[in-house]
Structure 1
């Protein structure tokens, strides 16, 4: 029987991650029991304190065990720790040595959403591929440059460390873990019981590009605003450099440092966000909106759009436009 430890962090935590994990893993046990087999998982809520208050006292979670009572586990689940991230990491730092020890002893470790910040702070993501909620990608990169964050992935696996993307994508990681430990048939059964879309691997279609302006480089903010106002025109790096009275190399270096994008990538993302909004709300053909945002090469536009969103323009429209019409 595999021992699963679902952490009960201090502070504001995703209750859905905790209850959902316990519920879904427990249902796997029920499937095994109904088939006349022994349960597969021994599921425990593991905390630092006997009672952990959540949501300003609205909820209280009583762990089954405290960390010092668990000498060895097979899988550690780290739910999303919400609110101010530095504070969340500080009040939960006592978990870190225990999680590091369990991983060193052979346990697998999985984080959900911004729970990746906890694993990174513990040093477990250094040099490893990982995912987190797309909204916090830039903040994560700045705090943990040694981790290999992949924005588009719903989940990652790297040397026994698993991470999932934003919000309810944690259910996709749970299905992945269930398939690994209980088999494909059980994972499919659970996906149908909980109506989870199995084999979904990308969070790209859900990413909303808002521009990374949470920095203090006012010249780069000026460049960003210029791009966002004039994205339909052909904008060059040299044009921006002249506008800001900066050398090209200096502009590119400062832009990348401030936004985590090159100038060209930023222009591209702004154009793609405009295209997404048109596909969500209008009946324009792909060719019409392509020209409107400054593309003249159909193949290049379709290729870039799919790279950014994981879907073709038609697939995106059919998914998100309520009144979609199939126009090639």
Structure 2
């Protein structure tokens, strides 16, 4: 009979934490424990799941649920769930900051899902780190935490002692990632099969849509952005764009990059690919026809741009998301 090692995953129930994710993760780990198998040294691993909460202001953060009997330890991973409302403010997070820092300082891992990244970032532990959150929160997150390296294309970023997951439903991906870490790929795959979800490996950019920055305050750049939206980004000649904006070409390049975070060429590519995603989902046009319609005369070049931005080929995207 093999020995059993128990890894503990804690969930922090901060104000506004999404309870469906908390309960979903609780069930996911319960399912995963059915597939605990002895490893190479005869040691099998199961996952203990605990919930943590500050029951009233000024009180300590305590364990309020434990999935197993027996003497509890300290969680190996503390997870900050998503929220369905606005991301938690610094004031809401304040009672948990030092507690999270101490957990990390003593060797514990911290993980966040969706807007839980705002809670995690308030600890200061994400400075200079590459992290992800929901793509809708990109601008708000960058404004609050400008020294954190945000990558909203990624669904999960595993940085060892810090894990971050993107969208609201990315709790499934993070849960499977932790099952893989503690119990191995076999248990992870079997758990995913029971839940009928894809194993980790998706990317958030498959699902995101281009959401241009418009609140930058540069009226000339904003004028050009509105014109590019109307013309679907098909005009990319810098002299033409500069004329629309009423700026010199070099001035436009500098101000456009500062305002939007990308060059005019990159911006137009995003607009064109966004339009092509709509056509792939809702029409039966061929990829070649769509390439021409959005402004690319070379379908091969269009495919390369599409893969670079979306992470899937046009055909793969249509197969996954097409409704026709």
- Equivalences for 1:1-328 in 2 at 5 Å? 1-10=6-15, 12-32=16-36, 40-49=46-55, 63-64=64-65, 72-85=74-87, 88-231=89-232, 233-323=234-324
1:104-155 CA distances to partner (integer Å, 9 max, x unpaired)?
A: 1111111001211222221121111111111112222232222221221110
Is the 8 Å Cα contact of residues 234 and 268 (structure 2) preserved in structure 1? no
CA root-mean-square deviation: 2.5
Is the 8 Å Cα contact of residues 178 and 186 (structure 1) preserved in structure 2? yes
- Counterpart of 2:3 in structure 1 is none
Question: What secondary structure, in the 3-state scheme, does the structure 1 residue paired with 2:125 have?
Answer: coil
Question: What secondary structure, in the 3-state scheme, does the structure 2 residue paired with 1:94 have?
Answer: helix
- CA–CA distance in 2 between the matches of 1:274 and 1:139? 25
Distance 1:237 1:140, change over 3 A: farther
Distance 1:283 1:38, change over 3 A: closer
How many residues are paired up?
306
Distance 1:259 1:15, change over 3 A: farther
Gaps of 5+ in 1: 52-61, 324-328
Question: What secondary structure, in the 3-state scheme, does the structure 2 residue paired with 1:23 have?
Answer: helix
Distance 1:42 1:320, change over 3 A: closer
Distance 1:177 1:109, change over 3 A: same
1:296-327 CA distances to partner (integer Å, 9 max, x unpaired)?
A: 1222100001111111111112222233xxxx
Gaps of 5+ in 2: 1-5, 38-42, 58-62, 67-71
Displacement of 1:259 in angstroms is 2.4
Distance 1:116 1:253, change over 3 A: farther
Displacement of 1:257 in angstroms is 3.0
TM-score (norm 2): 0.86
- CA–CA distance in 1 between the matches of 2:161 and 2:226? 42
